[in-house]
Amino acid sequence: MKREIKINFTDFWKGFDKENNYFVHLLSQQYEVRIADEPDFLFYSCYGYEYLKYKCIRINFISENQRPDFSGCDYALSFDINNDPRHYRLPLYRLYIDLWGQDLNVLKNRNAEAIREQWKAKDKFCCMLVSNGNSKKRINFFHKLSKVKRVDSGGRYLNNIGRNVDNKLEFIKDYKFVFAFENSSYPGYVTEKVIEPCFVGSIPIYWGNKEIAKDFNPGRFINYHDFKDERALIRRIMEIDNNDELALEIISQPIFKDDMLPETIRDENVMKFFRGIIESGKMVPVAVSSKKRLHFFKRKSHQLREMIFSRMGITFR
């Protein structure tokens, strides 16, 4: 009989499903998982402060370019390259493999004829989906490439297609190239942006993590960081656009480095980390010492400032 564990989720992004997600699916392989208002283990992300209300083991999943704060959590999962035993490297893109219903084994199997047909069906050049204009590198390159050939923008920011995109994969599948610029650049920080175009046989144009080749096969995407300037990058994009055989050579490449799943996203390794948490017997809340209470007041101060700015009509981040 499987051991029952009580878990809950808070402060995740809009649309996150507590009952149906990567963590529930993985833990259910070994445990009887129950979502509970008073959990033994709380998973929280970085989009709120509800986690402060919970007096249990806190596991922080960080999807943004932030460092783990161990004054507020017992354990952390993030993209960060961190040797702390309380931390595990689980980049956000791993969750999107599950979210889009992609089989990890299927990602490694490529049928040459299917790939060719998939590329031939693409009748559009390049697209971008962006909700904010904070990444100047991404926006500036959008304008530069758009001067050479039209780039469709389907997000809320710089939208030029006259509608909102409901399904990202359905939208980008018609494009040869897809902007895969991270919001910021930091060693190890890689989100879903580079892998989603690979799901639909498109070529990502990537900027962000300069160490991305440690996870992904550099032959499967165009890496902004490989070029001496943006003119050279644009020349390469146009060369591929005008040469189907060259494009097919790229999209036929394995997605991951050495055609192997990165060790840290393999289920057995993630599960080993979780077993260490669950079986450790540690059940002491994090917010018990005076030092950790400082974290609570720091967050409360942040919330107060956020409320003041909000009333002034200013978004505070």
Q: What pLDDT shows up at residue 112? A: 81
Instruction: Report yes or no: 174 and 161 within 8 Å, Cβ to Cβ.
Output: no
Q: What pLDDT shows up at residue 100? A: 73
Task: Tell me the C-alpha distance between 61 and 84, whole Å.
Answer: 15
Instruction: Report yes or no: 75 and 61 within 8 Å, Cβ to Cβ.
Output: no
- Chain position carrying tokens 């959590």: 73
Domains and their CATH numbers in the chain: 3-95+264-286 (3.40.50.11650), 105-260 (3.40.50.11660)
- The helix or strand, by DSSP H or E, that contains position 292, with its residue range, turns out to be helix 290-311
Residue 88 structure tokens? 């595990």
Instruction: Report yes or no: 238 and 168 within 8 Å, Cβ to Cβ.
Output: no
Q: What pLDDT shows up at residue 206? A: 98
Task: Tell me the C-alpha distance between 231 and 100, whole Å.
Answer: 34
Name residue 42's beta-bridge partners: 8, 58
Q: What pLDDT shows up at residue 133? A: 81
Ranges of the chain whose pLDDT falls below 70: 102-110, 282-317
Instruction: Report yes or no: 248 and 110 within 8 Å, Cβ to Cβ.
Output: no
Task: Tell me the C-alpha distance between 34 and 17, whole Å.
Answer: 14
Q: For Cα atoms 35, 51, 22, give the angle at the middle one, nearest 5 degrees.
A: 45
Q: Which residues contact 35 (CB under 8 A, 6 or more apart)?
A: 6, 7, 8, 9, 18, 19, 24
Q: What pLDDT shows up at residue 262? A: 92
Instruction: Report yes or no: 177 and 126 within 8 Å, Cβ to Cβ.
Output: yes
Q: What pLDDT shows up at residue 317? A: 35
Residue 249 structure tokens? 């050579």
CA dihedral 104, 105, 110, 113 (to 10 degrees): -100
Q: What's the maximum distance between 2 C-alpha atoms anywhere in the chain?
A: 64
Q: What pLDDT shows up at residue 312? A: 46
Burial (CB count within 10 angstroms: exposed 0-12, middle 13-18, buried 19+), residue 178: buried
Q: What pLDDT shows up at residue 309? A: 45
Task: Tell me the C-alpha distance between 187 and 60, whole Å.
Answer: 19
Q: What pLDDT shows up at residue 113? A: 86
Q: What pLDDT shows up at residue 111? A: 78
